[in-house]
Structure 1
Amino acid sequence: MILGSVLNPVNSTIVAVALVPIGAAFGAPPSQTAWLVSALYLATALGQPVVGRLIDLFGPRRLFLLGTGLVGVAGVVGTLAPGLGVLIAARVLLGFGTCAGYPAAMALLRSEAERTGRDSPAGVLTMLAVANQAIAVIGPLLGGLLIGLGGWRCTFALNVPLAAVSVVLGALRLPRQPVGRTPPRGGTVAQLDLPGMGLFAAMLVPLLLFLMDLRTGTWYLPLITVAAGAAFTVRELHARTPFIDLRVLGGNAPLLATYARALVAYVVSYAFLYGFTQWTEEGYGLSPLRAGLVQIPMFLVGIAVSVTVGRHRGLLGKLLLGAVGQIAACALMLTLTADSPLWTLVALAVVFGVPQGSNSLALQNSVYVQADPRRIGSSAGLLRTFAYLGSMVASSATAASFGEHASTAGMHHLARIMLGAGVLYLLITVLDHSLRRRSHGAADPADPARSADGA
């Protein structure tokens, strides 16, 4: 489960230090190599809830094996790519292939809890969160090491052995049928809401394209999003087995608040990951390898925080810790200049490790306890979709802040945007009264055995 779930974050982050050498290899400007990032985001944001819904219906095994197998194919295509266009296609394949790992893990945890009657999978949820946030942080460092050893193609070749191990382990260990479930009446294929999935794609893709390039010339994309969104709403409210049950989702305010927190949290996280890393290379003058090394403290602190807070019940404390950590880190970013000593960059990475470790665990656990157990796969997929919406906003904010060069003034502008997102995260958390009710003795947020209205 851990290996499958980290295929997405490792491919999301490892490319951060590979964009410059890829651009040099193909003579492509940054405006073109940026599609290597955006292509994976588009495919993942669209594919996560779709694949999650398929996992809800068919179980984790088949989707996990198909997805991780596709990752291996994409690794081969990317390694041998003769041009940038093929490389972008490989990133699209990677995006769709990595969609199965995380929803499959969440679905398997839920069904195992139901089968065994064990109340709390907090330890395994913590391991998943630690693995995902750790690999997201060490991705740039790993990318720098691979590029130093064999060039940028090694960042794609890495997917081949990872996919091979995932397929073998999945074939050996994953159950052949959904654990603890019975097939729905009429057969699972009849439960697929293909028109709903198509309208979801028609709504999401233009929104993501607009967020990637916030120009006046793209004014028509939000209009397409609104029109497709209206059609999607009508379809899902009248569908017998909707792709996303809007009635249930609309009545689940705690889960909607979790999705909103995920969006703004990942604005901060990805702006730091890409924007700050870019500034450390261009504005501060570090090499790609040293820029990756500077983020090692965030990796270590994030793991320590996740392991520590993962032992405690409740969600509110974890979310408040993440909110305060984000605000403190963004404020510290505003004090940095090109003349700041190196230790201040390391100190910033240490501070950012606190929300990195706390937020990822809290958001994951929130979905686990707030979502309808019958739709845990698609709900987990939607969490990733909102996270990638946040990453798109972060990408646009980074581009708008830096322009042609990652200057210190641009970094400070980006930090102010991040600070605003951090304050919004805090407000959403403080105003969410369901978190306070849980912490005062309703259902235990680490406990999958909860009341029906908790779903």
Structure 2
Amino acid sequence: MSNKPRTALAVAGLSLGTSLNPLNSSMIAVALVVLRTDFGLDVATVTWVITAFYLTSAAGQPLMGRLADRFGPRRLFNFGMVLVAVTCALAPFAPNFALLCVARAVMALGTATAYPSAVVIVGALARTANVKSTRPLGRIQMANTSAAAVGPVVGGLLVSLVGWQALFMINVPLSLAALLIVRKYAPIDEDRERGSAAELLRDSDIPGILGFIGSLTLVMMALLNVLPDARWWLLAGGTVLAALFVWRELKFSPPFLDLRLLGRNRPLLLVYLGFAVFNGIYYFAFFGLPQLLQEAAGYDPGVVGLLMLPLAAMSVIATPFAVRAIDRFRVRRVLIAGVLFLVAAAGAMWLLTASFAIPLVLLLTALMGIPWSVVSIASSQGMYVSTQPHERGVAAGIFQTCRYLGAITATVMIGIFYGSGVNQANWGLMVLTMLVLGAVAFGVTLLWRERK
């Protein structure tokens, strides 16, 4: 088989694997009521099945990226898919809710291996097939975008036809298929670090890894308010751990995260900041709009799911055009155009303060799908060109963590705005906030330059 068909099949496997994380982060939302009934839980407790996945994914992605850089992305991808398959085969038999949350966390860790590994593998694939990296990255990003958007629809069908157990079982064939495809068609890992277990352990900066994961987890738990009585203690503990982490990384060699190198890489920092702000804007609409349509407009949840489908459809349609535009006009111009379109689409959401007409809602969700696709792929390519090949695994992991930070920030702010009621007036305040964040994203984008 020639290089191009092999590359296409490898990208298909990588895309399938990377789609599992966003798919599982979104489709679980439709199972919360069923889980509450089956396990006899209250509203606050059942949300841990979401929180466990979010926390593990956000904290685990940079670590998985670091491991991909050190020991080989193909090897790590395959390990992650095996971990997902085994965990999801056992999870439906969990005897209690606590073990189910543990299974969700382990599944999140397995799926967290996929995107950082895929970004590293893309470099080898692009060189082998003599194609630009934008095309395979675009396909991978399209899979991520589509999976997150259609997750609630897929989850709703699985739960209604089979039960919550199907949300785990569906991952077994998907992860095994991704494993087999990547194992057969992705390039063999180049030589990575070798040495005794003691040497590898000594050079792994375990305290730095634990400090990073611990500080990020504590801060996100405070933001999500998972322990209301200890919120400020969690925030203080996370801040202290973050300070210790910085102190450790500046002294240790080789560090888990080279903060000096990261500090000198202004383009990469701007990509991270812009992507986090962008996701904050997007998830305002993705999480806030369905609540508005259900509670203020009175639409049935099934109807709301269908009203959100144009977002996924337009993101899939727009991605190939975004890839071609990047090849022709380069990353910065496409990124600027995408952010401007995002601000326009967010501003158009103001129309919902006057009407909930179905054609209007369909138009607005379709409009939001275009910048979601364009900015996502342009930011992903911006991250790629802002890093050296040996840094791309951990860089991709932090990139994904920025997605979660944006989503979590949006979730917290939605709770604040909707605290006095889910209505059109409070939606209008959220739209104003989206526009302010859009202005910040635009300013960050203007500052970004492709790294020489």
Unmatched tracts of structure 2, length 5 or more: 1-13
Greater mean alpha carbon deviation, residues 190-199 or residues 48-57: 190-199
Distance 1:329 1:83, change over 3 A: farther
8 Å contact kept, 1:57–1:188: no
8 Å contact kept, 1:203–1:226: yes
The equivalent residue for 1:329 is 345
Instruction: Quote the Cα distance in structure 2 between the aligned partners of 1:193 and 1:211.
Output: 27
Instruction: Please state how far the C-alpha of 1:301 moved relative to its aligned partner.
Output: 1.3
Instruction: Please state how far the C-alpha of 1:185 moved relative to its aligned partner.
Output: 7.7
Distance 1:113 1:391, change over 3 A: same
TM-score (norm 1): 0.88
The equivalent residue for 1:445 is none
Instruction: Quote the Cα distance in structure 2 between the aligned partners of 1:55 and 1:343.
Output: 46
1:412-451 equivalence runs, <5 A: 412-432=428-448, 434=449, 438=450
Pick from 219, 229, 234: which aligns with 1:207? 219
Instruction: Please state how far the C-alpha of 1:281 moved relative to its aligned partner.
Output: 2.6
Instruction: Quote the Cα distance in structure 2 between the aligned partners of 1:348 and 1:404.
Output: 25
8 Å contact kept, 1:258–1:363: yes
The equivalent residue for 1:384 is 400
Pick from 296, 301, 305: which aligns with 1:292? 305
Instruction: Please state how far the C-alpha of 1:175 moved relative to its aligned partner.
Output: 4.3
1:374 corresponds to 2:386: no
1:162 corresponds to 2:178: no
TM-score (norm 2): 0.89
The equivalent residue for 1:16 is 29
The equivalent residue for 1:360 is 376
Q: Deviations along 1:30-69, whole A, 9 cap, x unmatched?
A: 3223222221110011110001100101102332122112
8 Å contact kept, 1:77–1:87: no
The equivalent residue for 2:275 is 262
3-state DSSP of counterpart to 2:236: helix
The equivalent residue for 1:443 is none
> For residue 363 of structure 2, what is the amino acid of its counterpart?
A
8 Å contact kept, 1:145–1:289: no
Greater mean alpha carbon deviation, residues 376-385 or residues 262-271: 262-271
3-state DSSP of counterpart to 1:219: helix
Instruction: Quote the Cα distance in structure 2 between the aligned partners of 1:111 and 1:175.
Output: 7
Q: Deviations along 1:112-156, whole A, 9 cap, x unmatched?
A: 445x38362221111111111111111111112222322333222
The equivalent residue for 1:448 is none
Instruction: Please state how far the C-alpha of 1:17 moved relative to its aligned partner.
Output: 2.5
Instruction: Quote the Cα distance in structure 2 between the aligned partners of 1:228 and 1:300.
Output: 42
1:87 corresponds to 2:100: yes
The equivalent residue for 2:47 is 34
> For residue 420 of structure 1, what is the amino acid of its counterpart?
V
Instruction: Quote the Cα distance in structure 2 between the aligned partners of 1:260 and 1:358.
Output: 17
3-state DSSP of counterpart to 1:56: helix
Distance 1:73 1:403, change over 3 A: farther
The equivalent residue for 1:243 is 256
Unmatched tracts of structure 1, length 5 or more: 439-452
> For residue 276 of structure 1, what is the amino acid of its counterpart?
L
Instruction: Please state how far the C-alpha of 1:216 moved relative to its aligned partner.
Output: 8.4
8 Å contact kept, 1:60–1:174: no
Q: Deviations along 1:251-290, whole A, 9 cap, x unmatched?
A: 0001000000111111122222222123223332333332
- Percent identity over paired residues: 31
Instruction: Quote the Cα distance in structure 2 between the aligned partners of 1:111 and 1:65.
Output: 17
Instruction: Quote the Cα distance in structure 2 between the aligned partners of 1:271 and 1:221.
Output: 25
Instruction: Quote the Cα distance in structure 2 between the aligned partners of 1:21 and 1:410.
Output: 30
3-state DSSP of counterpart to 2:299: coil
Distance 1:400 1:183, change over 3 A: same
Instruction: Please state how far the C-alpha of 1:339 moved relative to its aligned partner.
Output: 5.3
Distance 1:86 1:338, change over 3 A: farther
Greater mean alpha carbon deviation, residues 65-74 or residues 116-125: 116-125
8 Å contact kept, 2:343–2:435: yes
Pick from 262, 276, 279: which aligns with 2:289? 276
> For residue 180 of structure 2, what is the amino acid of its counterpart?
V
> For residue 379 of structure 2, what is the amino acid of its counterpart?
L
